[in-house]
Amino acid sequence: MKHPPEVHRANADRTPLDRAARITVILLFAAWVVDYIDRLAINLALPSIGAEFGLGHTQQGMVISAFFLSYALCQIPGGLLADRFGSRRVVSWSLLIWSLFTALTGTAWAFAVLLAIRFLFGVGQGVYPAAAMKAVAERTAPGQRMTATGWAQSSNAFGAVLAPLIAAPIIALWGWRMSFFAVAGLGVLVWAAIQLWLPATLPQSDDTEARPDQPGGLRTVLASGVMWRFTLMFFGYGIIVWGLNSWIPSYLQTERGISLTGSGLLSAIPALVGGVAIIAGGKLIDRLGGRHRLIVFPAMTVCAVCILFLNRVTSLTEFVALLSLATASATLCYMPIFAIPMRTLPAGMVGTGSGMINFGGQAAGFITPMVMGALVDRYSYTAAFAFLVVGAVLAGAFALGTPQHPNAFSAAISPREPQRPNSPSHDNVRTAP
């Protein structure tokens, strides 16, 4: 697979992000914040929903997993759509669709209806991540992509901070249904901002686009064993992050006796720490030239130790400190997991490649809430937290078994050359600064 020369000198590319890249990061940051607020509001509302509909822990886990089932299934299609129709269109439609189903969540009148709405909500959000990563890749130089994407995706953690601060008081004052109505309009506002201000793409060289029928093209990427190893690495990451996000609010309320508002505030602390860790991970992996093993393996080791002690400490202060350290250790790995593929794949395959990897994390989001709910019902939260250690082991193991350098990754993906040029991106093209 032939790549633009920028890929091979990425380590030397340390120039600050230009104006267009900064605007792109700000807009996608805002969209991801809304994404997480809309998504995580359900975790805070679960105890109230469970009481109204008479749901056990297993059924409450199914409510969360219904979203992640469709969300995971839409990751690769989202990348294909972004590569086919352009990132701007896919990001825009995604925002509108998930905002609609956020509002409809507040209208659910039965358990089955709630499952259906959350499934369709996942469809709307599921096509967004790959399109957003492609939008960043199209507007930044290769050596800046993980830093820029790290800033944009740190919004995940800041959304996790804002979600309890916004949703918990609304649930306490006006009920869980009103919380979904209140946050639904945020996506429409961000959609309007993207239509007005998202910059055009940087010009791409002829060999940065790939066709599905070419050696090294999309079909080769989808069939690549090395890409699926990165996907499994992110699957391990997803077990940890989605397990903690899904069940910590309920754990604090039912096991620690914390109020709804109090659990929201306490949940915001590790989320804020995680946001800082995502940014740090993006900057650090750019400096290390994409060698994710140097970050992922030690960080996941620390994370596993912290999780094992979560339910064994009696002090609430110690619990929050351990949870914050576990969250920081895990989220420090977010950008390193994506680094080598996103720095190395041609722009025409970034959407599909990021969609593949993200599929692993969201598949974990589908499985983990249900498994943890069943473990809580049958055993205890101690058993549920112990399950999360499996994720740390998986992520650490696959970090050791994946290429650490762009050239090794390129050879593993497609040893056959050359690749023919293809048509330019569907988005408008701007002049490089």
CA distance 357 to 398: 13
Q: Which amino acid is at 94?
A: S
Task: Give the CATH number, domain containing residue 75.
Answer: 1.20.1250.20
Report the chain's mean pLDDT, rounded to a whole number: 81
pLDDT grade for 94, boundaries at 50, 70 and 90: very high
The span from the CA of 265 to the CA of 44, in Å, is 11
CA distance 310 to 278: 22
- Residues 157-170 have pLDDT tens digits of 778 778 878 888 88
More confident residue, 9 or 123: 123
Residue 50 falls inside a structural domain: yes
Residue 114 located in a structural domain: yes
Return the percentage of the chain with pLDDT > 90, whole number: 22
Q: Tell me the pLDDT band of 414, cut-offs 50, 70 and 90.
A: low
Secondary structure of the chain in the HEC alphabet?
A: CCCCHHHHCHHHCCCCCCHHHHHHHHHHHHHHHHHHHHHHHHHHHHHHHHHHHCCCHHHHHHHHHHHHHHHHHCHHHHHHHHHHHCHHHHHHHHHHHHHHHHHHHCCCCCHHHHHHHHHHHHHHHHCHHHHHHHHHHCCCCHHHHHHHHHHHHCHHHHHHHHHHHHHHHHHHHHCHHHHHHHHHHHHHHHHHHHHHHCCCECCCCHHHCCCCCCCCCHHHHHCCHHHHHHHHHHHHHHHHHHHHHHHHHHHHHHCCCCCHHHHHHHHHHHHHHHHHHHHHHHHHHHHCCCCCHHHHHHHHHHHHHHHHCHHHCCCHHHHHHHHHHHHHHHHCCHHHHHHHHHHHCCHHHHHHHHHHHHHHHHHHHHHHHHHHHHHHHHCCHHHHHHHHHHHHHHHHHHHHCCCCCHHHHHHHHCCCCCCCCCCCCCCCECCCC
* Pairwise pLDDT comparison (208 vs 367), residue with the higher score: 367
Q: How confident is the model at residue 410 (pLDDT cuts 50, 70, 90)?
A: confident
258-294 pLDDT tens trace: 877 787 778 778 888 888 898 888 888 878 877 888 8
Could you tell me if residue 429 is inside a domain? Answer: no
Burial of residue 310 (CB within 10 Å: 0-12, 13-18, 19+) is buried
Cβ contact 315:365 at 8 Å: no
**pLDDT at residue 25, rounded to an integer:** 86
Whether 426 maps to a domain, the answer reads no
Question: In total, how many domains does the chain have?
Answer: 1
User: Is 206 part of a structural domain of the chain?
Assistant: no
Q: How many whole angstroms separate alpha carbon 395 and alpha carbon 338? A: 12
In a domain, 78, yes or no: yes
Q: Which residues are CB-neighbours of 415 under 8 A, at least 6 positions away?
A: none
Closest by CA position to 327, among listed 290, 280, 288, 287: 280
| Residue 362 φ/ψ, nearest 5 degrees | -80, -30
Domain that residue 174 falls in: 5-200+213-413
Q: Which residues contact 86 (CB under 8 A, 6 or more apart)?
A: 425, 426, 427
- Does some domain include residue 418? no
Q: What percent of the chain has pLDDT over 70?
A: 85
Mean pLDDT value across residues 182-199: 87
The pLDDT assigned to 342 comes to 78
* pLDDT greater at residue 112 or residue 140: 112
Q: Is residue 111 part of a domain?
A: yes
